[in-house]
Structure 1
Amino acid sequence: MSSMHTDNPQTANAWPRLVADIGGTNARFALETAPQQIEQAEVLPCNDYDTVVDAIREYLKRVGNPKIAHAGIAIANPILGDWVQMTNHHWAFSIETTRQALGFETLVFLNDFTAQALAITCTAEKDLVQIGGTEPKENAPKAVIGPGTGLGVSGLIPSNAGWVALAGEGGHVSFPPFDDAEVLIWQYAKQKFGHVSAERFLSGAGLSLIYEALAAKEGVTPATLTPAQISESALGGSSPLCRLTLDIFCAMLGTVASNLALTLGASGGVYLCGGIIPRFIDYFKQSPFRSRFENKGRFDAYLAAIPVYVVLSEFPGLTGAAVALENHLQNHAPSRFADGMSADFGKTAQDKTE
């Protein structure tokens, strides 16, 4: 996470605040009118605007140009300092220059999946669907993973300052095949790409890659299907190959999610975000995911106790951006410095390394 701000105690609690979630295709903007009250959300196509400043100004114009002092923006990009060069879009900008151009007092940018992890801390129970396990342990690490356009990976670690969101690139770890079928799929991907990451399979494009590899294995010409069409054909019973594709996809997700749970000691639960799983939630409950998640030899019982939740929140990126912005404002409030508390109180792990 990276942030730019000026100290003005008179506007520390100014509302509304601007929150946003920017991807490579679309940017979603909204106003936070009170703590976690997200209103007037709109989606703007990124290609319609030359710069991020243009897009923000257009959104603010649409909602009546309210006075904004503080803004928090999640973006599908690593945040390593002041300069942001989007990897899947042409926007490139300085955070400080953007803040000045818009006249904001505070502008916080963070990785979009770190924002999704932060959103878990205030997700309502109605927006969580439990897939196996028992009750989560209090004050224990939580694992967060989400297949979508890519594979997002994060974690929430408890501390005296609240939950610390881990910012990393865990979707790009090497994929571990579990059985002979997955070895063959892995070999197919390796021939195409060299290194085979978890994201190669656990994403929308990954679903298509698994289908393609299985078709090659069976010696048949694969139909030209989108990931959504593969899922529809699998659930509708019209294609055994599509059903096998979906089964293997869910089993692979079980492997990678359980590896993350073991790495973090995530007895506080595993949270599945992203746009793919909610599309077939009823199937997913009975899919190979949970049995594969628990299949870890001597640690079967350990994993069997860990609950897994599918997150159904409507705007997790916006919610997480709002949490990050509030944390930043609290940490930089003048009263905290007067009390001699550290300026990095409650920051994410990535903040503290910058």
Structure 2
Amino acid sequence: MSAAYPWLVADVGGTNARFGTVAGPGAPVEDVRVLPVAAHAGPAAAVRAYLAAQEAGKPAPRSAAFALATALDGDRIELTNGAWNFSRAGTQQELGLQTLLCLNDFEAQALSLPRLRGHQLRAWGEAPPAAEAVATGTVMAVIGPGTGLGVGGVVRAPGRWLALPGEGGHVTLAPADDFESAVLSQARREFPHVSAERFLSGIGMPVLCRAVAAVLAGSGRGEDVAALSTEQIVAHGLSGESAACSRTLDVFCAMLGGFAGNVALTLGSRGGVFIGGGIVPRLGERFFQSEFRRRFEAKGRFQSFLAGIPTALITDTLAALSGASMALEQADA
């Protein structure tokens, strides 16, 4: 496949779709714009809106890569936490594209990891190694609490990077202490299967907060949090005005650490585990003062194995666009 320039790259989540343009070989992603998914009928309509906002005279894209927050199987694509349901082939034809590559959003996020630089990261302790220093066969992993919970990995192969896409956010979540067991038990009254995404995501934090508040109410510290959004929970938790919201943030960070440790063990990601998504950056110092790293390492006999794996927060929320660009580059190689 020869992907003709200019390229259009997109990172489509349940809430927002981010678009950018790559003008030619080796060029960075430019002219990045963020559009709300719900405001457009589908990707073709969103692309037309993006292109209409560009300066007059710019050439139309010839090739595109869409990173999409869903599992991909066949021509029909439906977002897991969004309203778009479309045909890949139909969208390619409608937009007049020579090439349209569709990949899982965390496949693109994983492919962005080798291109991340220090100013796009905040390490928890020792920084992850630079991509140039990573040996063949080394795995890096990324997890991202955003609207949903994404998981991906990337392994260095001779001359290229291979993405390891999956739907790890939907694995069953495990408690690590009695309080978390009580919180999960409470949530099971509402959902028969409590996945990691049910708690560790934008759609999940209100579920977690309701469960935490119910458990606290049993000890005489009840609060009505039923109407709170994720943004309100974060704000009330950081300010300390709500005990239930504050405890929710503590549980969120701790369980995210345990989940990240599980991903590291499953993939053997000695090259690091990176935290993406839009939620954790909002927590600021609260995240770095939390139980995240302790719980990441708290795996019994494999604590020393995990202690040697670096963890870092991705502070650049547009990083997945460079991963989509790499997917096109490698498909074109």
Distance 1:39 1:246, change over 3 A: same
Q: In 1, Cα distance between the equivalents of 2:38 and 2:194?
A: 30
Change (3 A) 1:70 1:143: same
Q: State the 1:81 CA deviation.
A: 2.1
Aligned to 1:228: 231
Residue of 36, 40, 52 corresponding to 2:43? 52
CA distances 1:214-257 after superposition (whole Å, capped 9, x unpaired) = 22122224233222222222222222322211111111011110
Return the alpha-carbon distance in structure 2 between the equivalents of residues 246 and 90 of structure 1.
Answer: 29
List per-residue Cα deviations over 1:114-165 (Å, max 9, x = no partner).
1111111211111111113575482221111111111101111221242211
Mark the CA change 1:283 to 1:49 in structure 2 (over 3 Å): closer, same or farther: closer
- Using the alignment, how far apart are the partners of 2:282 and 2:301 within structure 1? 33
The answer for the alignment partner of 2:134 in structure 1 is 138
Structure 1 residues 47, 146: CA separation in 2 closer, same or farther (over 3 Å shift)? closer
Number of the residue aligned with 2:326: 323
**Residue aligning to 2:52:** 61
Given the alignment of the two structures, is residue 43 of structure 1 paired with residue 34 of structure 2, yes or no?
yes
Asked if 2 retains the 8 angstrom alpha-carbon contact of 1:134 and 1:305, the reply is: no
The equivalent of 1:24 in structure 2 is 14
In structure 2, relative to structure 1, the CA distance for the partners of 1:24 and 1:247 (3 Å cut) is closer
Q: Equivalents in 2 of 1:67, 1:134: separation in Å?
A: 40
Work out which of the residue numbers 96, 113, 131 in structure 1 matches 2:106.
113
User: What is the Cα deviation at residue 93 of structure 1?
Assistant: 2.8
The aligned residue for residue 197 of structure 1 is: 195
Judge conservation of contact 2:148–2:201 (CA < 8 Å) in 1.
yes
The answer on 1:264 being equivalent to 2:267 is yes
Compared with structure 1, are the counterparts of its residues 36 and 201 closer, same or farther at alpha carbon in structure 2 (3 Å cutoff)?
farther
What SS does the corresponding residue of 1:300 show, helix, strand or coil?
A: helix
1:61-140 matches, cutoff 5 A: 61-63=52-54, 64=56, 66-133=59-126, 136=129, 138-139=134-135, 140=138
Which amino acid in the other structure matches residue 41 of structure 1?
V
Does the residue aligned with 2:204 lie in a helix, a strand or coil?
Answer: helix
Change (3 A) 1:217 1:117: same
Long gaps (5+) in structure 2: none
**1:211 and 2:209 correspond:** yes
1:165 is the counterpart of 2:134: no
Bigger drift between 306-315 and 61-70 goes to 61-70
Aligned partners of 1:46 and 1:153: how far apart in 2?
Answer: 21
The alpha carbon displacement at 1:277 in A equals: 0.7
Which segments of structure 1 move beyond 6 Å, counting only runs of 4 or more? Answer: none
Identity %: 45
Q: In the TM superposition, what is the alpha-carbon distance from 1:24 to its structure 2 partner?
A: 3.4
Per the TM alignment, residue 66 of structure 1 is displaced from its structure 2 partner at its CA by 1.4
- Whether 1:247 and 2:254 are equivalent positions in the alignment is no
Quote the offset at 1:315 in angstroms: 0.9
Aligned to 1:341: none
Choose the corresponding residue for 2:302, options 299, 304, 309: 299
Cα separation, partners in 2 of 1:286 and 1:143, compared to 1, 3 Å: same
Partner-residue secondary structure (3-state), 2:325: helix
Q: Compute the displacement of 1:40 (Å).
A: 1.6
Instruction: Write the letter of the residue equivalent to 2:214.
Output: A
TM-superposed deviation, 1:89: 4.1
* 8 A contact 1:73–1:109 mirrored in 2: yes
Structure 1 unmatched ranges of 5 or more = 331-354
Is the Cα contact below 8 Å between 2:128 and 2:312 reproduced in 1?
A: no
Q: Distance in 1 between matches of 2:212 and 2:152?
A: 30
CA deviation string 1:72-112 (max 9, x = no partner): 11122222122223344443333223222322211111111
Give the deviation of 1:272 after TM superposition: 0.5
| CA distance 1:165–1:276, change in 2 (3 Å) | same
CA distance in 2, matches of 1:109, 1:75: 7
Q: Which has the larger radius of gyration?
A: 1
